[in-house]
Amino acid sequence: MSSERPNIIFITAEQQREDTISACGATWMQTPNLDALAGEGAVFDKAFAPAATCVSSRAAFYTGLYPHNSGIYGFQPSSGSLHWLPRLSEQGYHCVSIGKRHLPPTGFDEYLAEHDNKCSLKIRGEDCDWIKAVHAAGYESPFDLHDTDPDFYDNLAAIVWPLPEELHPDIYMADRALEWLDVWDGRAPLYLHLGFLSPHDLYDPPQRFIDL
């Protein structure tokens, strides 16, 4: 790895506010891993989202363009003329996306999807990598399990994760990222985007996190 082209691991959490992180002043929250990242890195406390919706904001940091320049305001397909991850590609980075992306994998050399370019987890992405793993383990779609829980809607889309913990989408994608890093040969500088769905609803943490 060249010191002028450091490896980059970019982690995104979905719809997470500053007041849910202990290191940012929410001392009643238990966020030891995020606190460690904040303690070892840079914290930008005057950052603003370029758009009100997640898709437009994600497109902005992939393209470097505001929504009114990229034309991406919602879940419509992006223009083929847009250049995704332009600076990284030009500098020879190997670009990998693991987890929630919410946009086509344009510009990435490799990707593993939590749900393939779907606007909502309620739109069944039965062909996505994560759902394939759930089915391979012998379980039905978690979406169907959520729908049949009698308290799901009364609890405002909150439920205890009903499957083995390793199949939770966030844990599954984190494990896949670690496996990928273990076998990466370092032939080029790396850009890895690891995208988590949480804390966006559905709110379905494994029991041990509820018990904290």
Using alpha carbons, select from 80, 60, 69 the residue that is nearest to residue 12: 60
Contacts of 145 (CB under 8 A, 6+ apart): 162, 163
Sign of the dihedral defined by the CA atoms of residues 146, 152, 155, 160, in that order = negative
d(CA 5, CA 156): 45
Using alpha carbons, select from 32, 7, 21, 103 the residue that is nearest to residue 61: 103
Per DSSP, the chain holds a count of helices (H) and strands (E) of: 8, 4
Residue 97 bridge partners (DSSP): 111, 193
Catalytic-residue membership of 193 = no
Catalytic-residue membership of 128 = no
Phi and psi angles of residue 93, each rounded to the nearest 5 degrees, phi first: -75, 145
Q: Are 130 and 113 in contact (CB under 8 A)?
A: yes
- Label residue 138 left, alpha or beta by phi (over 0 means left) and psi (-120 to 50 means alpha): left
Q: Does residue 175 sit in helix, strand or coil?
A: helix
Tell me which of 102, 115, 168, 193 is the catalytic residue. Answer: 102
Q: Are 13 and 170 in contact (CB under 8 A)?
A: no
Which residues does the annotation mark as catalytic? 54, 102
